[in-house]
Amino acid sequence: MKTKRTKIFSGTPWEPLAGYSRAVQAGETVHVSGTTGTDPSGKVLAPGDAYAQTVQAVRNIENALKRLGLGLENVVRTRIFLTDIDRWQEVAKAHAEFFGEIHPATSLIGVSRLIDPEMLVEIEATAVV
């Protein structure tokens, strides 16, 4: 039996190029793709500012969840990819401002770079209905 999927697209240029959705709901689980601190056109906001990019990435995740009738309180897992692991406290501060009462399981992973050199942070999320 095929699982029903609801797909949410953000409109960034990478979705059609790579063939993915911002978020996919399958059953009671929502998987949010790696999300960066960009505007709807894909422009990186706050170059050089890991804290501000984290805030924007979480807001972008929140917007995708809202389109499915959910919110950040539904998030059970985040994975954070950071290009400069020494800046983890900036990212952790922003993450805690949104998730401090929700306490999802999380990982913070240092990576060499993201798709755009101005991107410092990318966050994936899993939510449940």
- pLDDT tens digits, 22-34: 999 999 999 999 9
15 pLDDT tier (thresholds 50, 70, 90): confident
CA distances in angstroms from 55 to 5, 48, 92, 96, 122, listed in the order given? 28, 13, 10, 10, 11
Tens-digit pLDDT profile for residues 72-114:
999 999 999 999 999 999 999 999 999 999 999 999 999 999 9
| 60/10 Cα distance (integer angstroms) | 9
When the pLDDT of each residue in the chain is averaged and rounded to a whole number, the result is: 94
For residue 86, what are the contacts with CB-CB under 8 A and spacing of at least 6?
A: none
Q: What does the pLDDT average to over 60-72?
A: 97
- Going along the chain from its start, the domains and CATH numbers come out as 5-128 (3.30.1330.40)
Q: Model pTM?
A: 0.94
